[in-house]
Amino acid sequence: MTSFDDSAHKIAEFLLQIKAIKLSPDNPFTWASGRKSPIYCDNRKTLSYPAIRTYIRQEYVNTINQSFGRPDIIAGVATGGIAKGALIAQEMGLPFVYIRSEAKKHGLTNMIEGVVEKGQSVIVVEDLISTGGSSLKAVDALKEAGCIVKGMVAIFTYGFDEATENFKKANILVKTLTDYNILIEEALKKDFITEKDVDSLKAWRKDPAKWGLLTKK
């Protein structure tokens, strides 16, 4: 079995190769929130590459088994976690549900799509952890339905202090397959960035709002 360090570096390399993650500190991206960022992440692109998709699925499964043990249900968070969660559930032979970003405005007004029962244990699947807000909203929906949330898994995290605090307050253990520091190491090693970019990328992670103001032209 590969170690976390080996698999984390391999997944970071995959994400960079297929441009699921792009780094551009000199020409920052603008997020939907309006915030400037040197990184753009769309892990849904991994679904278009069968070999990469399969590798990531297996690392999700390994992480769940090693860190949490087998749950009763796999729950994907809309939208990025839905396909990933379904792949994991299929591999593990488990039921799957997904959690909407908000309750439906019609019909049964469900937030959880699928069948859950009170007392069932659940692993929540995300593709990306930012501040943790939408992820914890999904956790709350599951808890309200009487489920026991064992923890959460994701491909990648920016590693914001805000997210760490949010998950700590909610008492939710999160395991990711790779992370921001490893991504920067891999990007530098494979010449996606240069040495001069590293300080800027680290400064953004430490204080995104301040970094955005400093980079405004």
Sequence-separated (6 or more) residues with CB below 8 Å from residue 23:
16, 38, 39, 183, 187, 192, 193, 197, 201
**What was the pLDDT predicted at 216?**
56
Say how far apart CA 160 and CA 163 lie, in whole Å: 5
Q: Name the DSSP letter for residue 48.
A: G
What are the DSSP E strand ranges found in the chain?
21-23, 29-30, 36-37, 39-41, 73-77, 96-99, 112-113, 121-125, 128-129, 148-154, 156-157, 174-176
Per-residue pLDDT of 59-72, as tens digits, reads: 999 999 999 999 99
pTM value is 0.93
**Cβ atoms within 10 Å of 108's Cβ, excluding its own:** 8
Tokens (6 digits) for 85: 């969660």
Q: How confident is the model at residue 1 (pLDDT cuts 50, 70, 90)?
A: very low
Answer yes or no: is pLDDT of 15 > 70: yes
| Better pLDDT: 215 or 192 | 192
Q: Give the chain's mean pLDDT.
A: 92
**What was the pLDDT predicted at 3?**
64
Contact 42, 22 (CB under 8 A): no
Domain residue limits, the chain: 4-205
Helix (H) / strand (E) element for 203: namely helix 195-206
Per-residue pLDDT of 153-206, as tens digits, reads: 999 999 999 999 999 999 999 999 999 999 999 999 999 999 999 999 999 998
CATH topology of domain 4-205: Rossmann fold (3.40.50)
